[in-house]
Chains A and B, each alone.
Chain A
Amino acid sequence: MSLWLVTLLAGLLTYGTRLSFILLLDRIKVPDWFRRGLRFVPVAVLSGIILPALATYNATLNLSLRNPQLYAGALAVLVAWRTKNVLLTILAGMGALLAIQLLLGLF
């Protein structure tokens, strides 16, 4: 299979998953639990991305207290909870991570 064909088919498959329910939900009747479950999609999927991302440090899974991203992430959760502000959350988390890395570099 040529790379062009692989790219085109991979794109079609990806587009198909993205389009799937946007088109289907108009045509089929979905059960009530399905509708109620939709509200949990963002918190479930994004939380499932967040924790492994925080735990992966230097390309390895690191759940020990020596992983600075866990502290920075915890601070970000706190800031997000108190301020509901995206930019402040990012600044606090990045600031904490850089500060800890700097400190670890010094000692």
Chain B
Amino acid sequence: MNESTIPTTPRREFWRGVRDEAPILLGVAPFGLIFGALAIAAHIEIPVAQAMSSIIFAGASQFIAAQMIGTGTSGLVILLVVFVVNLRHALYSASVAPHVRHLAPGWKFLLAYLLTDEAYAVTITHYNQEGDPAKKHWYFLGAGLTLWTVWQVSTAIGLFVGAQLPQDWPLGFVLPLTFIALVVPALKDKASIVAALTAALVSMLTFGFFFKTGLLVAAFLGILTGLLVEGKPK
């Protein structure tokens, strides 16, 4: 029997989310370790560093924040930078919003907390596939909680043992590879191909922009060209 024809249950959806998130963890765990070690190097106290992983819960911005704390940057500047670096999450929020619309407020508040790059990537792919849309939030929860747990644990290990990772073992490469695996099958029409190519090229041109603002510009131009190629609906 084809997997998609089996009637789905919340439990099955949850574990599918956990399973689909698993390969990404290979790339995420080393970053958690490195963040922990980075926080120690910046003389951030262990409880604060762990709280950064659970309260901010956004890898790239935590890296930058830890480095800025280490160099004695003022709190307001750090807040501004964290805000800008994490602005792309507003795009993710808009993208999943129609899919979680039917849920109770409690679910919305919980899933928003778990809306990281990595959980978003697998979850939006799942939302765009066939299946029972009324149960897919369990998949979201499974993927999100899996990533959350690994981020907390790897941060803790990094804080206590420091980063003694083999430098020549390029596990960070798992992240772009996973995103490739999720994006390529979604390129089904000319409009999405143009959107992807535009965003990729612009993100290269704007690579030097400060704190991921280049990614925002690239994403907006990609979405815009996608809309233009698609044209008005008849």
B88 CB, nearest partner CB in chain A, Å? 6
- B78 near A46: Cβ-Cβ < 8 Å: no
- B100 near A61: Cβ-Cβ < 8 Å: no
Binding site of A, secondary structure by majority: helix, strand, loop or mixed? helix
- A80 near B226: Cβ-Cβ < 8 Å: no
- Residue of A whose beta carbon sits closest to that of B123: A42
Interface size class of B (residues with CB under 8 A): 35 or more
B216 CB, nearest partner CB in chain A, Å? 9
- A40 near B227: Cβ-Cβ < 8 Å: yes
Asked if A48 meets B185 with Cβ closer than 8 Å, knowing A4-B48, A76-B180, the reply is no
Counting CB contacts under 8 A, is B134 at the interface?
no
Chain A contacts for B97, CB-based, 8 A: 21-22, 24-26
**Total interface residues in chain A, CB < 8 Å:** 67
**Chain A binder among B28-36, B106-114, B158-166:** B106-114
Per CB-CB distance, the 4 closest pairs between chain A and chain B, nearest first, are A1-B75, A44-B222, A11-B55, A89-B181
Would you give 27 A-B contacts (Cβ < 8 Å), ordered by A?
A: A3-B45, A3-B48, A3-B69, A7-B48, A8-B55, A10-B56, A11-B57, A13-B79, A13-B83, A13-B86, A14-B61, A17-B89, A20-B94, A26-B97, A37-B226, A40-B195, A43-B226, A44-B222, A53-B173, A72-B173, A76-B177, A86-B178, A89-B178, A90-B26, A90-B174, A94-B174, A94-B177
